[in-house]
Each structure stands twice: as structure tokens, then as C-alpha cells.
A and B are shown apart, each in its own frame.
Chain A
Amino acid sequence: MSSMFFGHYLLEQGAIQREGLLNAIERQRNTNRPLPDIAVGEGLLDQAKADQIHAMFRVSNSSYEDLCISEGSLSRADVERLSRIQSTEWLRIGAALVKGGYLSDTALTTHLEDFNAIDSAQQSTLESEFNHLEESIIVRACTDLTLRHVARMTGAPVKLQRIDPSNGTLRQGFRRFAQNIVGDRDFCITVDLGDPLFSIAAKGMLGVEVDPASEAARDAGCELINLIGGNACTQLEPQGYTLRPEPPFSPDNSGPDQEERPSIRGAALAGDDHFELNIFIDPP
């Protein structure tokens, strides 16, 4: 079994159904508040300032903690208190499933123990296999950028996964957001967004909800690929890696040729939750 997220583990075990998982993810989204929203609830920030911090978070490298201090004039003690509130009320996927009536307390405890034992052993093995690879520096950089540009908007978890070597693809259920290392390496980084990537990208960039199948959503998704690819090239250049970003493409937008030159390229399908960032590497 590949390393996976707990929700998908439960699905694979037959402990829950897909509908239950989606509802639990939705419940998490409605419950788990970012720091600026908690600060509004505590009367430390007004809504306009919180909105400004959200906007800055999307385009800067700063954490919510730092932005609350620099932009919201909160003290470090205030932020630490808000973080404690956040961790107290933070709803994890297992608890969300129990609250929704999709899993019993007893089943949660049993499955969680089993999952943690399997998962920690597998992550440890994968990490030790992965960390010595020359490519790891590139994937780490791309992961950092992914987190900066996408996943931090949702607080989504990130994991190292193994690609199925028989067909070169990820296991079903892990393709929401993947960064593949193309070649003979069977690793990739996945981020479980729980929502179509393009919806998240469009909302993050444009500040409005758009139809995931719309051109606006596709554009936002492609721009996101551009951001990750371009920023990764920039970040890796001083370390001696020469990569070349290609324009993003999708089936209705003719993409780059398939020649394997050093490049970072993305492929995406509008309205789908499938995204891949392929990294062709020319090590120094």
C-alpha cells in the first residue's frame, strides 16, 4: 500500500463512502478558521483588515502569523493566543467524519491506530529513499512553491507518494495535485486539496467563486502552473540547475512538444481535479 491520507485510507478500507469523505472535508472547511478570521471573532481585527491580510497572504511569502503582526499590528502574544484557539477548535478529518455520523468513535480510534502505524513506517522509508536523490532538491523547491501558492490557502496536507511503476501513474484518489519527477524515479509530491484545483486557483487569484469548468478557472489554473514552474526555475538557478518553464497547456490549448529538454511543464484539465507538474531535470 502506498502512503496516503487518512480519509483515503478509510475509503480503501471500506470504512466510509466517498460521499461521507466529501461531506467531512466540507465540514472541515466550514469549521477550520485561518488566524485573521479568529482575530476578527476576538475583536482584535476588523473585517477589512482581515481581508487585506488574506489578500497579502496569497501573494507574499509571509505566514499568517507574521502578517497579523506586521499588517494587523497584533503583538506576538496576541498571535500565540490566536494560534492556541485555532489548534483547540481545529477539526481533523476523523473527527469531522464522526461528527457527520459517517464513522463511530470506536472505529475512528481503531483505524487511526492502524493508519498511524502503517503511515509513519512508510513515510520514513520513502523519505530515506528520497532524500539522497539529486532530484530531491528540485522537488523540495517545487513543493515549497506549491505550498506557498496553493496549499496554504486551504491548509492542505502534503505527502510524499510513490507512483505506480507499472503504469507510471499515481494511485486513484491521489491525483488531486501532484508533482511528478519524470524519468525513472517513482516519487511524487501530492497535495490533497479536497476541491478542484482550478476552483481554488480562481478564488485565490480573482477573489470570486467561478465555475470550475469555465475558461476563467482554467486560466487561473494555468497561471498557477506558470507561477510554480517559473518561480522554481528562478529559485534553483543559483544552485546550478538549468530548467526552462513551458507555457501551461491543456487538451484544447496546444502544448509544448514532447522533446525531453530541461523544463518544467504543467498539464491540466479544466473542471477536473487532476493536475500534474512534470519536472524534466538537467542536474549541474
Chain B
Amino acid sequence: MTSQTVMTIDDSAAILTIIAAYLEDSEFKVIASERDGRRAVEVFREIRPDIVLLDLIMPGQSGMETLSQILALDPDTCVVMVSSLGTEDAVHQCLSTGARSFLQKPFSRDAFIDFLRNLENQPQNPRIES
């Protein structure tokens, strides 16, 4: 199976740890984890991962601002918004700005990996069942 590089952006170190643990031993390799949106954009500019997992609600620079800046650098980037907030408005705003998909927390490891594997097939699936 082809390996894909992943960058995770979340203000919560707990979530970054959980995602890294979930993706261990999978075909998805976490190459960067950032807790600040502004700093994450700078790192993204250098590393250009295949997939960006981006938190929506963050103190400081928000997930939406970070999404816009990443897509301004590379409009084809596969950005998945990851949030505990899954309202229609939030999902619509993210997808219309250019996010590939939207994943609502919490989620199990198996559901998470299945979701990432199906990203190409289900480009606008807003939620998964854990």
C-alpha cells in the first residue's frame, strides 16, 4: 500500500498524541504536528504533506484562517477539518472554503483510518460514525 504523509494541526497536545498513536503502523506517516495555526502555515510551506488534518476551533489563528492560508499556498492540498463541532454551518463553511472533508470528533482508530483510506472516494463525507 502506498504511504502518505500527514501533517496534524491542533491546539490540543492530547489530540496530536492520539492521532499519532492511531496512525502508527498504518500507511499514513505523521511528518509534522503543530499546535499553532500561524506556525503551521510556515511549516506547511516547507514540507508539503499529502494530507493536512486541521482543527477548526483553536485559540489565536482559527482553523478557517489556517485553511485559507494553506490553500492559498497550494489549492490542491487535501485538508481534512477535524472538530468536535459538526453543525451544518461549520461543515458547509469548511467545504465551501476548500477543505476536502470534515471529520467530527470523537472517532475510533479503525473508523479514522477507514476514513483516510476512503478520502479519494468520498471527498465530501462530512461525518463518520465511531
Contacts and interface: CB of A to CB of B under 8 A. Distances in A.
Q: Sort chain A's interface into a size bin.
A: 20 to 34
A55 B107 CA distance: 11
Interface string B61-97: 0000000000000000000000111111100000000
A180 to B, nearest CB: 20
A48 to B, nearest CB: 14
B86 A234 contact: yes
A237 B92 CA distance: 14
B105 A230 contact: yes
Contacts of B87: 233-234, 237
A60 B59 contact: no
Contacts, number: 77
B13 interface: yes
B12 A219 contact: yes
Interface stretch (A19-27, A110-118, A245-253): A245-253
Interface string B83-127: 111111100000000000000111111000000000000000000
B57 A253 contact: no
A230 B88 contact: no
Interface in A243-284: 245-247, 249, 253-255
B52 to A, nearest CB: 19
B63 to A, nearest CB: 10
A149 B84 CA distance: 12
Interface residues of B, number: 24
Contacts of B88: 237
A59 B83 CA distance: 14
Interface in A53-68: 55-56, 58-61
A234 B57 CA distance: 14
Contact of B58 (A229, A233, A247): A247
Interface string A198-236: 000110011000000001100110110011111101100
Given A56-B108, A222-B12, A234-B104, 9 more contacts: A59-B130, A216-B17, A226-B12, A226-B57, A230-B83, A230-B84, A231-B85, A234-B87, A247-B57
